[in-house]
Structures are given as structure tokens and as C-alpha cells.
A and B are shown apart, each in its own frame.
Chain A
Amino acid sequence: MDFYYSLAQIIGFHTLLGLSAYIVLQTGQVTLAQAGFFAIGAYVAGMLTVLAGWHLVPAMIVAGLAAAIMACLVGFPALRVRGLMLVIATLAFGEAVRLFFFNFDYQIAKGDVKIGPLGGEGFRQIRWFPENGWTSFEIMLFVWAVVALVAGALWWIDRSRFGAVLRAVGEDELAAQSVGINLTAVKVTAMTIGGFIAGLGGSIYAHYTTHIEHANFNVLLATFAIAYPILGGLRSVFGTIVAVIFVQGFLVEGLRFMGDWRNLLFGALIVAAMNLRPHGLIDAATARRLARLFGREQRRA
């Protein structure tokens, strides 16, 4: 059972990563910076619990805020560019963050050992969960409580006036602007919220793996951040959750019995999924059906 609790935790923090890209994608921006914010969250939270001895919850909030501030700062210049240019600009930023941690040393002595991030060797022994006696089941409940809060908030945003504004910007910037929407404010807000969510996800990730190093936060992770919402569909937060379960639960762990074929199927099934459901696993039609299932018609933006 322990294994499934642990898998649920992985799905949990990957969902946070996916949701952080989901809100930015709502405004039509494809960003590869999320791995960078995830890294900031991981390092900040790890340093707070390990070096400063904080409780995890305040450490996570501070980590999220740190990532959010960074996202806001990056948002202003980055959103001058669009489309593929933005993809590359954010990729450059994400890589710069990763390389910053590659060169980042901050160690203090604790007893006879030195702890803290040490450049290329990584940051060892982030063991807040086991040291405080949390069982896998409890960690899973905690992770999913955070995921539920975040997903719930985004679900509510999707339904609010602000959600409609986000999608308006995503669908047609010119039209949105002409009805008086402040494009920069909307995009930067979405980016900041995304940064906060990625920071939360990163802080859970660091405490899950207990050891982080720069190489964990590479372009592949950034690609997966946008892959989840795209695979899942941009119509509903559930799409992202379904996509994470598809990738982490099915492609990575579920296919393990396939042995060597698993890795080949990984890419092939992503290609197949996009061919069969180009608008995501949960596209507009499915989302409407889902909404009906929950007893109310979804208001279209």
C-alpha cells in the first residue's frame, strides 16, 4: 500500500506543476519557465526546513511567495514577446535559474557535518517528513489537501469573471484589449499565480526526494509542466489532473510490467494521444458533459 501512497504523492506534486502552467496557458502563453519556479520553491523550502528549522507549512508558503515574486518580475519583460519567442525566452530564464543553483553554495556546519546546497553536488538530507514521523499515508493526505486547495481555487477562478478575462486574452488579445482589458496586468497576474503554485509543488518535491540538485529541474521537467495541461485539455483543471495520472500513473508506473517496452511506449503513446484527442483528453465537449454530471451547465466564456 505504501507504494500507492508514494505514487499518489508524485501525482500530487506533478499536478501542482501542471496546474501552474495551466493558468498561464489560459492566457495563451506557452511558458517553459515553470521548472525554474519549481526549483526556486524546492531550494527555498528545503533551506528553510533544513537550515532554519522551520515547520514545513510556513516554509512552503514562503517558498511559493519567493517563486511568485520571481514570476512577477520575469512576467513584465517576458510578456512583451509572444508565441515561440516566449517559449524560448522562458526556456532561457528557466535554464538560467537551474544554472544559478548549479553554482549556488550555501552550507552551514551542523554538528560534525556540513549541510545545505553545494553547487553541482546538490542539497542533501531534506528529511522533514521522516524526521517528524509522518507516515506515507499522512504525507499523501497532506499533499492532496494542498492539491485540492489549489485545484479548487483554479476551478473557482475558471468560473469567475477573472477566468473569463483570462480566456478572453488567450482567445484573441486584440479583441480583449479593445473591450478595455489590461493585457499586461492579466498576463502578469496569471504568471504570478502560476509561479506561486509551482513554488508549492517544488517545496513538496524537495521533501519527497530528500535530495535535490540542479539537473532535476531541466528542460524536460519544464516541458512536462506544459505537457500536462495540453495533454489534459485547457477547458478544465480536471484535464491536468487526468493527464498527470495518465503520464505518471499509467505511462511511468502502470506500464512497468512491460519491461523494456515501457520506455518506447512512453513517447509513442503521447504521439497517439495527441493524434486521437488533439484538444486534450478532456476537451470542451467532455468538460461540458462533466459539468452536467455535476448538475450544472458550464457557463461559456
Chain B
Amino acid sequence: MGFVDYVQAVIDGLLFGTTYSLIGIGFTLVFGVMHKINMSYAAASLAGAYCGLVGPQLLGLPAWTVFPLSIIAAGAIGYFIYLTCFRFIPLASPLATLMSTVGMLLLLDEIVVHSTAGMPQNYPAIYDGDPVEIGSFILRADLLGVFLVCVAAMAVLLALLYRTRLGLATRAVAQQPVAAQLCGMRLQAVNGLTFVIAGLLGGVAGAMIGASVGMLSPLISGPITVKGLIVTVIGGLGSIPGAIVAGLLVGAAENLFQALRNVTERDIYVMLLLFVFLVLRPGGLFATARGRD
């Protein structure tokens, strides 16, 4: 293992990290607006990607349709989660929605298992050619594509939040729900829409995870949930730029530790580092001065 290998490991990690970023943004977006955590988010993103497979596998549509279908399905699942896990539970009980979304996570995973018998499903890559070689480094061409798609999705999201009336309403509800309501905004509608937007974004993430792994399996929903949560807190709750940076960081750190140490010890260091980081910097990288929680 030489220096080149470590740099290569970090590059791989950064490229893969964009999918973590997207999942992290989804968590952070819902948290920013409702101050609640949606534990089923990553599972819903993957479930969306699974739904996308219905197009080519059952309806005989061309392979590329899997991507838009995944994204639309994930948006719909997002709204479904809002209705079942948030809409009718009082705002003042954060533990109740934590639990209801854990239940939803288990339910979504099991639905996926039942419809595929748990077998891994082939998922199309966005680009299937040779990797790009720069000097002694190799870049996976399709991961570059995934990276670009993820960045584009983030850009669209930021434009939506900061350039449209809908985004204004979302931010208003996030900052002052009561005041926003007094100004005539419909709280439930804005909350529901946030879930749809976060869901669509999750659909992009789920599709890109499928594309970069090349397969979907219920096995990945657990690790992705944990990684997404980690990214969310490292980036600082509610901070979108924070989630982007943190996703890349987590991807790189994970790969670097694997190169430096053994794969069986890799996650110990990642977890200990996370623990120390949170204790020393409880607000995350881009902490907002919002006080507790």
C-alpha cells in the first residue's frame, strides 16, 4: 500500500460519498421543516428504486425509464409516509414519530423482501463504459456520472428552496411555524410537500445508489440509514451545505480507514471518530445557532 493507493481510496470514497450526501439532505430537509426525524427515509428511497424496476422488468419499458420511475415512486412513498407517520400524530411528541417511522422502515423493507423474495435485483448503470484513467489514478466513469446527477439534484433543490414561493413557504414554516400559519400558509400542505420533495430527492439517491452498486438488495437499507443519519448530524441538523460536505467526508473517511486498517476494523474507527467528533463539536460542522435539538 503506497501513497497512490491512499489517494485513490479517498477519490473512490468521495465519488461514492455523493449518494450519502443526498440521503443526508433528505433527513436534514425534513428535520429542518418539522424538527422531526424520519427514520424510514433511506428505506423509502430504496423502495422507490425498487418500484422503478417495475418498468423494465414487468412492463417491458426501456432500461432508462427505471430512473424517472424510481424518482416519482419515491416522491409518492414520501407523501404516504407523511400521511401514515406524521399527519395524525401530535406535533409535541417527537418520540412517537420516531417510533412510527421505525415501524414504517420495517414495513417498507419487508414489502420489498416479499415482492422480490429477498433476491438481489440487477439495476442498470447510468454509463457502462471503461473507467477514466488519469495518470496512475482510476476514476469510475459511472460514478462521475452519479456525482454529476447528485450535484444537479442538489442544485435543483437549492433553487427550489431559495427561488420559488414554495421554497419561501417551506423556509418560513421551518423558522416560525406559528407566524407562517398566521400569514396564511397552510402548515399541513407545506409539511406534506416537504415530504414529497424530500422523497423525490431520495428517489434520485436510491436510483443512484442502485446504479453505482449495480444491484438492489434489502441488505443495503440498514447501512444507508445509519450513514444518512451520521451525515445529517456531522453536517449539522438542518444544514444542507453541511450534509453535502459531510456525505463526501464520510465516504472518504470510510475508504481511507479501510485502506489504512483492515476492513473488519474499518467501522470501529469511523464510529469512534464520529463519537469524538460529536462530543467535541456537538452542533456539527455547520451548526445553526438555533439552540437545543
- State which residues 237-293 of B face A: CB under 8 Å: 237, 264-265, 267-268, 271-272, 274-275, 278-279, 282-284, 292-293
* Pair B268/A96 contact, Cβ less than 8 Å: yes
**Which single residue of chain B is at the shortest CB-CB distance from A90?**
B275
Query: Which chain A residues border B279 with CB–CB below 8 Å?
Result: 77-78, 80-81, 89
**Which single residue of chain A is at the shortest CB-CB distance from B279?**
A77
Complex formed: what's the CA distance from A264 to B115 in Å? Answer: 11
Stretch at the interface among A49-57, A63-71, A176-184, A266-274: A266-274
Query: Which chain B residues border A82 with CB–CB below 8 Å?
Result: 282, 292-293
B11 to chain A, nearest CB (A): 25
* Pair A92/B278 contact, Cβ less than 8 Å: yes
Stretch at the interface among B84-92, B160-168, B181-189: B84-92
Interface of B is mostly: helix
Given contact pairs A274-B85, A274-B96, a sample of 8 additional A-B residue pairs in the complex whose CB atoms are under 8 Å apart: A82-B282, A88-B229, A92-B271, A96-B271, A119-B264, A220-B222, A274-B89, A275-B85
User: Which are the 5 A-B pairs with shortest beta-carbon distances?
Assistant: A267-B107, A270-B103, A267-B106, A274-B100, A83-B293
* Pair B268/A85 contact, Cβ less than 8 Å: no
* Pair B97/A274 contact, Cβ less than 8 Å: yes
Residues of A within 8 A of B (CB): 25, 30, 77-78, 80-85, 87-89, 91-93, 95-96, 99-100, 102-103, 119-120, 218-220, 223, 227, 230-231, 260, 263-264, 266-271, 273-275, 278-279
Question: Of B96, B106, B233, which one neighbours A84 at CB under 8 angstroms?
Answer: B233
Does B220 make an interface contact (CB < 8 A)? no
* Pair B110/A263 contact, Cβ less than 8 Å: yes
* Pair A267/B31 contact, Cβ less than 8 Å: no
Do A267 and B108 contact each other (CB < 8 Å), given the known contacts A77-B279, A223-B102, A279-B93? yes
Could you name 15 residue pairs across A and B whose Cβ atoms are closer than 8 Å?
A77-B275, A81-B279, A84-B31, A84-B232, A88-B233, A89-B278, A100-B268, A103-B264, A103-B268, A120-B264, A263-B110, A267-B109, A274-B99, A275-B88, A275-B100
Complex formed: what's the CA distance from A91 to B282 in Å? Answer: 15
Question: Of A80, A269, A270, which one neighbours B282 at CB under 8 angstroms?
Answer: A80
Question: Of B102, B108, B274, which one neighbours A270 at CB under 8 angstroms?
Answer: B102
Does B144 make an interface contact (CB < 8 A)? no
* Pair B103/A271 contact, Cβ less than 8 Å: yes
A165 to chain B, nearest CB (A): 20
Question: Of B93, B272, B293, which one neighbours A96 at CB under 8 angstroms?
Answer: B272
Does B155 make an interface contact (CB < 8 A)? no
* Pair B265/A267 contact, Cβ less than 8 Å: no
* Pair B267/A99 contact, Cβ less than 8 Å: yes
Do A30 and B233 contact each other (CB < 8 Å), given the known contacts A92-B271, A99-B265? no
Question: Of A119, A220, A268, which one neighbours B107 at CB under 8 angstroms?
Answer: A268
* Pair A219/B85 contact, Cβ less than 8 Å: no
Question: Of B103, B226, B267, which one neighbours A274 at CB under 8 angstroms?
Answer: B103
Do A83 and B98 contact each other (CB < 8 Å), given the known contacts A77-B279, A89-B274, A278-B90? no
Query: Which chain B residues border A100 with CB–CB below 8 Å?
Result: 268
* Pair B93/A91 contact, Cβ less than 8 Å: no
Complex formed: what's the CA distance from A230 to B79 in Å? Answer: 25
Query: Which chain A residues border B271 with CB–CB below 8 Å?
Result: 92-93, 95-96, 99
